[in-house]
Amino acid sequence: MRYISTRGEAPALGFEDVLLTGLATDGGLYVPESLPHFSLEEIRSWRGLPYAELAYKVMYPFVEDAIPADDFRKMLDETYSVFTHKAVAPLVQLDTNEWVMELFRGPTLAFKDFALQLLGRLLDYVLEKRNQHVVIMGATSGDTGSAAIEGCRRCEHVDIFILHPHQRVSEVQRRQMTTVQGDNIHNIAVKGNFDDCQRMVKESFGNQSFLGGKTQLAAVNSINWARIMAQIVYYFQASLALGGPDRSMAFSVPTGNFGDIFAGYLAKKMGLPISQLVIATNRNDILHRFMSGNKYEQHQLEHTLSPSMDIMVSSNFERLLFDLHGRDGAAVKDLLERAAKGPVSIEDYRWKHARKLFDSDAVDDKTTCDTIREIYEQNEYLLDPHTAIGVRAARNCRRDSAVPMITLGTAHPAKFPDAIAESGLSVKPQLPAHMADLFEREERYTVLDNNVSEVQGFIAKHWKNA
């Protein structure tokens, strides 16, 4: 399988190169040249498979040119064996035909573990094979950083530099990143917001001269295709658990960078019956404003109780725009260049095509807290603020009550005690046993100005072979 850029100018690459490259040389994102498609009969035959085996069925077509089947199966077995629930992604029922899929049973208590535990193993495999070293540079709004560090910290051929917005992630999220010890792990707190961090990462991938030609950058953000690939699997898992593919499913997805919900869009294109995808956002609602009114316009970023979605520039939205424009890279490049200067819209027929599958909602902090309290009082089930936004959006946007609605539970509530307290509940979410001493561990991070040259200089100085 070959991978092409959403901006149409970079060369097509194989899986290994896409894994290590992240951002294409033309500034675009890599997507498969063509997608595998599974028949209903084939999907039906996967019922009852363990999660790792289902992951193999769904993902192997994307990597088969680069990784032998037995090696990939071993990676998947190792990846999902560290999750704390045998089902890996268990479903919890909230109401008639309404479910939460718990994606926080991995080592860092967030859905990012599904992809980043695998990404670390993929990097180790490919870099060992090539005898190559890379520098991972990533930006996080909260959860990607800890999952990336946990997934990649044992990689022998990797140095990790994670940028997070200073004082704009929860304390648990920060400590999960900054208490992991290792000479190859570097946390940078940027005096800015997530979009500033993400911009620095993209700019650095576009010009890597600050590394002096001695190594290259690799991506762990969802610009890396391997991240998206791994997230497709749990859509199949949820469907098969609730009667799919013989009935359609609807999903509500808390999202800021559009990666998790784009994986659901791909699952549908690969043959899984999905009738609705709900984009659930907070006050940083650029995706909602586009999907509800065909206007893509950046506003000032706001700090909310759901910090992992405090994002205004949604990188993976470019991958959807590429499809909506008939995979015309030049058209996408032109649109995004105009979007950087002011509001843009797309042709009405393209927007209406997207609306056949997608709905959206924006949920403010008060409603988030009301939802946390309401669900707990109804079910004694505690939601984190991001999942609460997903549940509220699902209820506001649901098209058909006969279709199962599954909200992706993206994080453990213990990561966001301030939001739980603000909801008025007296219950205090507890960290799992393996994190019980998190607040006693020593932290290590460096605070830097919102300046790309300063960040690049720090990386150039501190990677192990500098």
Active-site residue list: 112
Element spanning 312, H or E: none
- CA 222-228-232 angle, to 5 degrees, is 150
Instruction: Quickly count: other Cβ atoms within 10 Å of residue 70's Cβ.
Output: 8
Return the structure tokens found at 115: 């992809």
Give 296's DSSP letter.
Answer: B
CB-based contacts of 238, cutoff 8 Å, min separation 6? 89, 91, 99, 101, 244, 249, 251, 406
Cross-strand bridge partners of residue 219: none
Say how far apart CA 126 and CA 158 lie, in whole Å.
12
Say how far apart CA 152 and CA 220 lie, in whole Å.
9
Strand 98-102 relative to strand 405-409, pairing: parallel
Return the structure tokens found at 228: 């998206």
- CA 170-158-447 angle, to 5 degrees, is 35
Amino acid sitting at position 212: G
Strand 446-448 relative to strand 91-95, pairing: unpaired
Question: What separation, in Å, do the N-terminal and C-terminal C-alpha atoms of the chain show?
Answer: 35
CB-based contacts of 29, cutoff 8 Å, min separation 6? 5, 6, 23, 223, 225, 315, 316, 318, 319
DSSP string over 365-389: HHHHHHHHHHHHHHHS-PPPHHHHH
Positions of E strands within 257-298: 274-281
